[in-house]
């Protein structure tokens, strides 16, 4: 089955700096890669996603890149703000199957 | 749309008791997922349904866990008998024809 590895497990940045979280996947059939943000005590919420026919997608301060050949994808957050502090999960999925999640990255943005 | 609705939000029970968690997916969504989240194991998929049919239950930890989806708008996850190591947050999520997965607010289960 699919295996998703996520790094780093914790990340601390200064407000205004950029943050990058990286994930690798194992199943070449995976073609959908969402990212979720989970604030303390809340549910995971989708923040951005990318399909395998696209190399990069951007939404305001958030961007995701995908390298299918290397089987890795990354989340980039620019101009970080304290409210970006949360746990971020990547996931990979093939077609209509199940999503496999990474172990999460705890991002702390220091004011 | 009210989103995915789970109940109860919190459940505290004693070891050996039966626990039933409930989920109402978003109307029109045909896939439903049960996840368990712990600090040690992260987000684990327990089981998922497509069109009310269980597709993959390989994540169900043992026979004490069972899940049903009697119709398109309701699912239950049952633990009988419950054990302290079952303490976790249990999330239900649903997905429609588009790819996005929507999570419920979760049930915080504590087994004493």
- Inform me whether the pLDDT recorded for B61 exceeds 90: no
φ, ψ for residue B98, nearest 5 deg: -85, 170
Q: What is the pLDDT of residues B75-103, one digit of tens each?
A: 999 999 999 999 999 999 999 887 889 99
Q: Which token pair is B49? A: 């349904």
Nearest by CB: A99 against B55, B101, B102: B101
pLDDT confidence of residue A53: 84
Mutate to test the interface with A, among B41, B56, B99, B102 (most CBs of A within 10 A): B99
- Inform me whether the pLDDT recorded for A96 exceeds 80: no
Contacts of A16 (CB under 8 A, 6+ apart): A79, A80
pLDDT tier for residue B62 given thresholds of 50, 70 and 90: confident
Mutate to test the interface with B, among A5, A39, A43 (most CBs of B within 10 A): A43
Cα–Cα dist B45/B47, whole Å? 6
pLDDT confidence of residue B1: 63
Q: Residue A3 to residues B35, B48, B53, B107, B111: CA-CA distances in angstroms?
A: 17, 18, 25, 26, 30
pLDDT confidence of residue A110: 96
Q: What is the pLDDT of residues A18-52, one digit of tens each?
A: 999 999 999 999 999 999 999 999 999 999 999 98
Nearest by CB: A32 against B42, B45, B99: B99
Query: Which chain B residues touch A104 with a CB distance below 8 Å?
Result: 42-43
B16-20, B35-39, B58-62: the lowest-pLDDT one:
B58-62
pLDDT confidence of residue A95: 77
Q: Residue B12 to residues B7, B8, B92: CA-CA distances in angstroms?
A: 13, 10, 18
Cα–Cα dist A96/B56, whole Å? 12
pLDDT confidence of residue A2: 86
Cα–Cα dist B107/B86, whole Å? 12
Q: Which token pair is A14? A: 């200064």
Q: Which token pair is B34? A: 């049960």
pLDDT confidence of residue A91: 96
Contacts of A60 (CB under 8 A, 6+ apart): none
Tokens 């597709």 correspond to: B55
- Inform me whether the pLDDT recorded for A59 exceeds 80: yes
Q: Mean per-residue pLDDT for A92-98?
A: 84
**Average per-residue pLDDT for chain B:** 94
């Amino acid at each position: 089955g699919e295996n998703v590895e996520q790094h780093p497990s914790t990340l601390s940045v200064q407000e205004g700096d950029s943050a990058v979280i990286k994930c690798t996947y194992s199943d070449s059939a995976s073609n959908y890669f969402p990212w979720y943000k989970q604030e303390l005590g809340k549910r995971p919420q989708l923040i951005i996603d990318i399909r395998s026919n696209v190399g990069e997608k951007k939404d305001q301060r958030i961007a995701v890149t995908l390298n299918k050949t290397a089987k890795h994808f990354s989340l980039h957050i620019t101009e970080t703000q304290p409210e970006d502090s949360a746990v971020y999960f990547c996931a990979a999925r093939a077609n209509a199957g199940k999503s496999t999640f990474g172990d999460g990255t705890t991002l702390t943005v220091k004011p | 749309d009210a989103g995915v609705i789970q109940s109860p939000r919190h459940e505290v029970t004693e070891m050996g008791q039966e626990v039933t968690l409930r989920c109402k997916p978003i109307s029109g969504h045909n896939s439903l997922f049960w996840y368990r989240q712990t600090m040690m194991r992260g987000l684990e998929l327990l089981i998922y349904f497509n069109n009310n049919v269980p597709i993959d239950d390989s994540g169900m930890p043992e026979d004490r866990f069972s899940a049903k989806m009697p119709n398109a708008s309701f699912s239950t996850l049952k633990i009988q008998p419950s054990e302290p190591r079952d303490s976790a947050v249990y999330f239900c999520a649903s997905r429609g024809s588009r790819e996005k997965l929507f999570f419920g607010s979760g049930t915080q289960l504590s087994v004493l």
